[in-house]
Structure 1
Amino acid sequence: MDDFEIALRIVAGIALILANGFFVAIEFALTRARQYSKGQFLTEGSRGLERAWEMTQDLELYLTTCQVGITASSIAVGIVAEPALAALFEPFFRNTLLASIGSGGILAFLIINLVHLTHGEQTPTYLGVERSRFVARYGAIPLYWFHYLLSPVIALGDGIAKLTLELFGIEMTGAWLEEREEIESRADLRAELNSILVRGGLTDERREEVLNALDVGEQPVREVMVPRETINALRTTDSSEVNLDRIAAHPHTRYPLVGETLIHFRGIV
């Protein structure tokens, strides 16, 4: 194998790993799309996002498309790039004991699999989960046309997969299209509220303040009560200047407004 062929195979291998990463990222991005409402997902009016939302109506077909792309690129990486790397490393082990056990091929196998795992699988998985709208915006249209070109193969694979599930009594119901209508627990409520607050751009501190309101019912009253003598109350019997001085000396967000004594409660300032 000459130098030109080795270089060509390595470049092709890198391209195949990137292709594998593309299919992995868009697969996870599409499966996460329905966690948004349609209005939230399409806020920017992107054609790519609109196409991605339409594709979730037939999500199983596009997941099959992703799997075809992932499988094909993964197999091709081994066929194309591994022999080139083995040929590249083989001279380093020539005339040594390691040459007899094919050390160049073993090293090439390990490197190909490591790069494929980290940059062809894990990295795009995290990207698809964490930046699902970004990936969908730029990846949906290429995936759509890839599916269009391979639609006969995709339809065959999809049919075989569904038939296999039916043999075990499992029916495809499009569960990814179902929108959750009820919040069943406090944990569900906290998770949903936190998601809304994050999308609203609230700071971590402010978001924590809002979420803490969910725990008020579990906090003993004695933990939030203060002794009467430490209450900084504003009094209707005092002048405005006195009350303003009290506010300046004891800054709070709210003050009880009372009459002559604390039992004569008038309201909250």
Structure 2
Amino acid sequence: MLTTQLNGIWPKIKEEAKKASMAEPGLASHYHCTVLKHENFTQSITYILAGLLASEDLPDMLVREVCEEAMAADAAIETSMLEDINASVERDAACDEYLTPLLHYKGYHALQAYRISHWLWQQGRKPLALFFQNRVSEIFDVDIHPAANIGHGIMIDHATGVVIGETTVIENDVSMLHSVTLGGSGCTSKKRHPTIGRGVMIGAGSKILGNVNVGEAAKVAAGSLVRKDVPSYSTVAGVPAKIVGKCRLQPAKTMDQQIPG
């Protein structure tokens, strides 16, 4: 069930779309098709994803049907999608409207397409899940394996070059920037990718490789290479990454990328 805060996001999106349509009449049709003609958030996001992911092999009508099927079967998908929008508004200084990530942020779009492909993967529909993964990689330059487990309240800022491997686990309220790799180590079919704790912030260009744990509210500085566990509420930096300080607050929410000292 959606919280009061999440319930209020869709009305705000519609109001923002109305204002944008009046401010920029040349885009009025765009705002109408993506937001204003729809009765609810599900109709809007499935329309948007279908338009982005469709191909000659899988027309937009079929993509939308799959998205609607997934969201009807699992109410948590919509909740996560709204939490992700809220995360962008709260953490991205460049994002001052709920409409912005819904229409313009490829990190948001890639993550929501992953949520559909993850549901397909769980249903045993692996060929279609992998098809979605490939489309996301082609269109957004973001590669998220559909078997990965990703929580809600996630922000992938800019997103270009992000790679998230098959056995990765990302808990709630995580922020990461572009060119982050959550990669595997070894060719075993067992857990070989990172587990990222709640409230973690991962800086641009960081590489976290293997079955390592990044503890709650830790900070991984930009350009770091992490091959060992990172304690909760700590900051790591360097190649290889070493502990350089502590975190008092959840860095994912403050987006403070300073290194102590």
State the TM-score, normalizing by the size of structure 1.
0.19
Q: Which has the larger radius of gyration?
A: 1
More strand by share: 2
Q: Which protein, 1 or 2, shows the higher relative CO under an 8 Å CA cutoff with sep ≥ 6?
A: 1
More helix by share: 1
